[in-house]
């Protein structure tokens, strides 16, 4: 490892709680300055702007995205957790922030990386390696990944956690929640406290690389002997709470499938959707982070490489049963049963269902019509999303209808929605109805 590596994308991670609080303080100061300047400009034009209009200017959107990216850790991860398909759901200003947070974070400078590795591996750690590339393969919200070869010939990917991430999770989550509250994007009536606590729990789990190693091995065992998937194994002698050493699996980004023929894209997306159904109903263990970077295509182009198991969670029996009831109602095209199943699962409040019955029925009608078409479902045809979005926005005007589903449903649905988004990106066509029907038929009777 050489200290002469220097790149514009490197930036030291603020490791102490005091330093991170200072970053949030500077962000707040920058936002306040932006509000004052924009407010003065609009008043000079004879306008009476609202606070959320002043906060969500392009300049302030950039300040939020850049500061959260620099902080990394929970601050950046929270943005990524709600960013899937943001353009269809979130206000445009917030969607801009989330889109920027889906990009790679800055990586650590070499000296900070050296300090992190020396703390966990000891100052003589280089003696164990023939090669260690200081330039990361990837840099994300909680850590960055490096290519390395050990003296005994193991070809590894080494994930190194940013300093201070674990210790700052609770404070970062609370600070981001405060920013959302101040922006006016979240109504005061919406109780997000349970979700915030669950987010903290998951982020603490993701920051424990020994836990991730165990989850990785669990998936490796569940998929052992199957030709469609590759799950790397971890190396216990080099894995700590802050460093995860795993097999390096050659491959290419899953987005590269866009250049492949339709039949290849369709086959890969069918495998991924089948895997999600197995996670939900068979494994009762789901990797809940659908970030595209967590999937790759093997070198020979035939298999899915599965990465990053920090967000793997057990699926509670009642969650699987709720999805089963909802899917069975959908296959039967029973609108009333679909609505009741959605309420029982926690997707909808009773108030929203009763008060906005017509709008909800139009949403259900569109979804049922799309999924009931015989043959392949065309993920690339998203014309129906416009109708769902318009009806959803109309319902959302009633803030009393705002409702947060239980966290365990949100995490599972995030994986399902993210998988659908990836299939849409690939313009894949998959017989989803057949996959669901076969899976439900294989389950024991309740």
Pick from 232, 248, 264: which residue ends a domain?
248
Whether residue 243 is predicted with pLDDT greater than 80 in this model: the reply is yes
Rounded Cα gap, residues 176 and 200, in angstroms:
12
The more confident residue out of 173 and 32 is: 173
Same domain, 256 and 181: no
Q: pLDDT band at residue 61, thresholds of 50, 70 and 90?
A: low
Same domain, 321 and 261: yes
Whether residue 281 is predicted with pLDDT greater than 90 in this model: the reply is yes
Nearest to 232 by CA among 291, 307, 159: 307
Same domain, 173 and 190: yes
Average pLDDT over every residue of 191-197: 77
Q: How do residues 306-331 score in pLDDT, each as one tens digit?
A: 999 999 999 999 999 999 999 999 99
Same domain, 322 and 440: yes
Rounded Cα gap, residues 28 and 100, in angstroms:
19
Average pLDDT over every residue of 404-427: 89
Same domain, 241 and 283: no
Q: What is the pLDDT of residue 4?
A: 45
Q: How do residues 357-414 score in pLDDT, each as one tens digit?
A: 998 999 999 889 888 888 899 999 888 877 887 887 777 777 777 777 888 898 898 8
Q: What is the pLDDT of residue 140?
A: 74
Average pLDDT over every residue of 95-111: 63
Whether residue 99 is predicted with pLDDT greater than 90 in this model: the reply is no
Same domain, 237 and 269: no
What domain count does the chain have?
Answer: 2
Tell which phi-psi region holds residue 308, choosing left (phi > 0), alpha (psi between -120 and 50) or beta. left
Q: What tokens does 309 get? A: 């198991």
Same domain, 291 and 156: no
Nearest to 158 by CA among 182, 137, 184: 137
Pick from 220, 248, 276: which residue ends a domain?
248
Same domain, 202 and 292: no
Whether residue 355 is predicted with pLDDT greater than 80 in this model: the reply is yes
Same domain, 221 and 279: no
Structural domain including 110 reads: 1-248
DSSP labels, 90-152 = S-HHHHHHHHHHTSPPPBPPHHHHHHHHHHHH-TTGGGGEEEE-SS-SEE-SSEEEEEEEETT
Rounded Cα gap, residues 187 and 180, in angstroms:
10
Task: Tell me the percentage of the chain whose pLDDT exceeds 90.
Answer: 48
Q: What is the pLDDT of residue 398?
A: 77
Beta strand 251-253 with 229-230 is unpaired
Q: What is the pLDDT of residue 404?
A: 79
Q: How far is CA 136 from each of CA 9, 213, 294, rounded to the nearest angstrom?
A: 11, 20, 16
Same domain, 228 and 267: no
CB atoms within 10 A of CB 317: 9
Q: How far is CA 92 from each of CA 7, 145, 178, 187, rounded to the nearest angstrom?
A: 32, 32, 20, 17
Nearest to 3 by CA among 125, 132, 104, 121: 132
Burial grade of 36 (CB within 10 A; 0-12, 13-18, 19 or more): exposed
Same domain, 227 and 280: no
Q: What is the pLDDT of residue 12?
A: 52
Q: What is the pLDDT of residue 397?
A: 75
Average pLDDT over every residue of 274-297: 94
Q: What is the pLDDT of residue 32?
A: 42
Pick from 201, 218, 248: which residue ends a domain?
248
Which residues carry out catalysis? 289
Q: Tell me if 308 sits within 8 A of 290, measured CB to CB.
A: no
Q: What is the pTM of this model?
A: 0.81
92 alpha-carbon distance from chain centroid: 19
Q: How do residues 250-261 score in pLDDT, each as one tens digit?
A: 999 999 999 999
Q: What is the pLDDT of residue 96?
A: 53
Q: pLDDT band at residue 127, thresholds of 50, 70 and 90?
A: very high
Q: What is the pLDDT of residue 85?
A: 41
Average pLDDT over every residue of 193-205: 83
Give, rounded to a whole angstrom, the gap between the first and last alpha carbons of the chain: 57
Tell me the range of 26-40, 172-186, 379-393 where mean pLDDT is highest.
Answer: 379-393
Same domain, 434 and 409: yes
């Amino acid at each position: 490892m050489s200290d002469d590596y220097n790149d514009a994308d490197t930036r030291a991670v603020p490791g102490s709680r005091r330093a991170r609080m200072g970053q949030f303080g500077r962000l707040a100061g920058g936002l306040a300055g932006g509000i004052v300047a924009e407010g003065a400009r609009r008043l000079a034009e004879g306008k009476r702007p609202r606070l959320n209009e002043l906060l969500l200017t392009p300049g302030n959107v950039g300040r939020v995205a850049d500061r959260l990216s620099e902080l990394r850790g929970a601050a950046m991860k929270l943005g990524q957790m709600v960013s899937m398909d943001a353009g269809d759901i979130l206000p445009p200003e917030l969607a801009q922030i989330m889109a920027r947070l889906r990009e790679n974070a800055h990586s650590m400078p070499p000296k900070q990386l050296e300090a992190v590795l020396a703390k966990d591996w000891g100052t003589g750690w280089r003696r164990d390696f023939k090669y260690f590339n200081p330039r990361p393969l990837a840099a994300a919200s909680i850590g960055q990944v490096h290519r390395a070869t050990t003296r005994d010939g193991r070809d590894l990917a080494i994930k190194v956690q940013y300093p201070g991430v674990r210790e700052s999770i609770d404070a970062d989550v609370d600070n981001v929640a405060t920013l959302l509250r101040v922006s006016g994007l979240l109504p005061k009536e919406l109780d997000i406290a349970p979700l915030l606590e669950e987010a903290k729990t998951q982020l603490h789990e993701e920051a424990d690389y020994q836990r991730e190693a165990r989850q990785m091995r669990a998936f490796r065992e569940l998929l052992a002997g199957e030709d469609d998937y590759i799950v790397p194994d971890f190396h216990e002698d080099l894995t700590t709470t802050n460093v995860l050493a795993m097999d390096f699996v050659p491959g290419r980004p899953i987005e590269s499938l866009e250049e492949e023929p339709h039949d290849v894209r369709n086959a890969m997306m069918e495998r991924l959707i089948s895997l999600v159904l197995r996670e939900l109903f068979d494994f009762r263990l789901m990797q809940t982070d659908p970030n595209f970077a967590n999937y790759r295509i093997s070198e020979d182009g035939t298999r899915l490489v599965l990465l990053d198991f920090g967000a793997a969670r057990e699926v509670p029996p009642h969650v699987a049963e709720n999805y089963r009831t909802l899917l069975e109602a959908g296959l039967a095209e029973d609108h009333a049963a679909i609505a009741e199943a959605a309420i029982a699962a926690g997707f909808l409040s009773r108030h929203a269902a009763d008060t906005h019955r017509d709008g909800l029925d139009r949403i259900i009608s569109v979804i049922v019509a799309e999924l009931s078409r015989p043959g392949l479902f065309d993920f690339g045809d998203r014309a129906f999303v416009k109708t769902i979005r318009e009806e959803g926005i109309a319902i959302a005007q009633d803030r009393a209808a705002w409702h947060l589903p239980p966290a365990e449903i949100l995490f599972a649905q995030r994986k399902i929605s993210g998988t659908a988004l990836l299939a849409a990106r690939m313009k894949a066509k998959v017989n989803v109805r057949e996959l669901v029907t076969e899976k439900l038929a294989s389950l024991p009777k309740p």
